[in-house]
């Protein structure tokens, strides 16, 4: 199986300067090739391909000698990124989207990563340190051993100036956990982050909401500084640090909760949500984004795959409007609104928390999809 390993690295001041210069050269090359494509198409109606642009590198190194200080495969990867951006643009045009978004030129400081597509060539871990081509030995925090065969290495600069090395590895041996026969259905929400079919409730941490006042404060200070001044650069870093801190807390929460669920249950059933559509509701968009359900489900899916667990995403349609006891479905004027937090069945008189009822239905739908016995009769009959 494939797996990614991410480590914090600590380049010296001189190495940081060299890395920043390499990023700047890659940014220049990206903008040069993007301009070449635009100009050629405007003048001739034809475009130039990725491989043709990569063949220009020897001549470009003559006109811009600093490109010699960047690993050749990193420079070739710049053309790959531009090619992917162009393909995404034409895909959106073909799909008829309103905002197609033609690839834009990257401003100063907007190119933040160097990719070595054939690691360990150009970037590898050796004797407990990271060796980067044209840079040298860099201190790395190896908080866990790297496994499998490294295929791609990426050096990334965060918005707060921190540096990371990310290795994508193949042939990683999965860590299979002991087999379990129990099953859990999970309903995610905003009042509670998750409600499980066994009655457990996970409180919604609302990390962004808790950080919102401090973020507004540092943003106000940033807006008062003049553009281009050292003071504005300092304030901008404070804003980035606030976002970074929120992201760390959210990621840590999702990792810990997903690990706990995978360790406790053999079959995990969740909602197959379309988050992109849900955030179009501007009254709930901020809260939905803050909850980060997609990241939670992705982490849980990856952990379940490695542990040998069964992970199933089911269609969430009507799971909140159907009685988990008798299968009665509330429709029309009887439908529950988002403010109603209790499900009352007029047929069997079930009185149950709305999210718990939905979790039981999710469990039933998932078990029915794999042909196993289920608990919610309404969904077991396909109603």
Which of 181, 198, 271, 383 is catalytic? The answer is 271
355 catalytic residue (yes or no): yes
Q: Could you give the C-alpha distances from 286 to 42, 210, 289, in angstroms and in order?
A: 41, 13, 5
DSSP-assigned states of every residue in 161-227: S-EEEEEEEESPPP-PPPP---EEEEEE-SSEEEEETTS-EEE---HHHHHHHHHHHHHHHHHHSPT
The three-class DSSP label of residue 130 is strand
Interatomic CA distance for residues 383 and 378, integer angstroms: 6
Which residues have C-beta within 8 Å of that of residue 178, sequence separation ≥ 6? none
Radius of gyration of the chain from its Cα atoms, rounded to whole angstroms: 26
Q: Are 382 and 369 in contact (CB under 8 A)?
A: no
What is the spatial distance between Cα 26 and Cα 359, in angstroms, rounded to a whole number?
Answer: 49
Instruction: Identify the three-state secondary structure at position 229.
Output: coil
Are 18 and 134 within 8 A, CB to CB?
Answer: yes
Instruction: Please give the torsion angle defined by the CA atoms of residues 184, 295, 162 and 226, in that order, rounded to the nearest 10 degrees.
Output: -140
Residues 6+ apart with CB under 8 A from 109: none
Buried b (16+ CB within 10 A) or exposed e, 85-115: ebeeeeeeeeeeeeeeeebeeeeeeebeebb
The angle, 0 to 180 degrees and rounded to 10, between the axes of the packed helices 13-44 and 72-95 is: 50
Does residue 187 carry a catalytic annotation? yes
Catalytic position from the list 25, 187, 290, 325: 187
Task: Give the active site residue among 244, 325, 355, 375.
Answer: 355
Cα four-point dihedral sign 230, 232, 238, 240: negative
What residues are paired with 5 via a beta bridge? 167
Decide if 211 is catalytic: no
Catalytic residues: 187, 271, 355
């Amino acid at each position: 199986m494939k797996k990614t390993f991410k480590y914090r690295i600590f380049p010296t001041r001189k190495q940081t300067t060299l890395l920043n210069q390499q990023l700047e050269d890659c940014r220049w090359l990206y903008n040069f090739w993007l301009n070449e494509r635009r100009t050629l198409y405007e003048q001739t109606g034809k475009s130039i391909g990725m491989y043709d642009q990569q063949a220009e590198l020897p001549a470009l190194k003559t006109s811009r000698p600093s490109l010699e200080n960047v690993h050749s495969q990193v420079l070739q990867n710049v053309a790959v990124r531009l090619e992917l951006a162009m393909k995404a643009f034409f895909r959106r045009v073909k799909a008829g989207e309103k905002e197609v978004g033609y690839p834009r030129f990257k401003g100063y400081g907007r190119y933040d990563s160097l990719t070595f597509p054939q690691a360990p060539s150009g970037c590898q871990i050796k004797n407990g340190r990271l060796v980067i081509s044209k840079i040298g030995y860099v201190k790395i925090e190896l908080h866990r051993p790297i496994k499998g065969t490294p295929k791609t290495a990426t050096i990334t600069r965060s918005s707060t100036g921190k540096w990371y090395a990310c290795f994508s590895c193949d042939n990683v041996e999965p860590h299979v956990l002991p087999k379990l026969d129990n099953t859990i259905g999970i309903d995610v929400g905003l009042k509670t982050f998750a409600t499980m079919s066994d009655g457990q409730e996970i409180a919604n941490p609302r990390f962004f909401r808790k950080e919102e006042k401090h973020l507004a404060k540092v943003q106000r200070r940033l807006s008062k500084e003049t553009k281009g001044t050292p003071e504005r650069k300092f304030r901008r870093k404070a804003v980035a640090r606030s976002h970074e801190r929120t992201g760390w807390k959210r990621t840590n929460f999702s990792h810990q909760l997903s690990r706990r669920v995978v360790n406790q249950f053999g079959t995990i059933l969740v909602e197959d949500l379309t988050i992109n559509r849900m955030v179009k509701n501007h009254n709930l968009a901020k809260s939905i984004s803050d909850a980060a359900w997609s990241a939670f489900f992705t982490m849980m899916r990856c952990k379940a795959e490695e542990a040998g667990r069964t992970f199933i995403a089911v269609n969430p349609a009507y799971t909140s409007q159907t009685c988990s006891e008798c299968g009665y479905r509330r429709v029309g004027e009887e439908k529950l609104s988002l403010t109603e937090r209790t499900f009352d069945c007029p047929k069997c008189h079930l009185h149950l928390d709305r999210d718990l009822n939905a979790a039981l239905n999710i469990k039933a739908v998932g078990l029915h999809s794999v042909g196993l016995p289920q608990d919610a009769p309404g969904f077991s009959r396909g109603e």
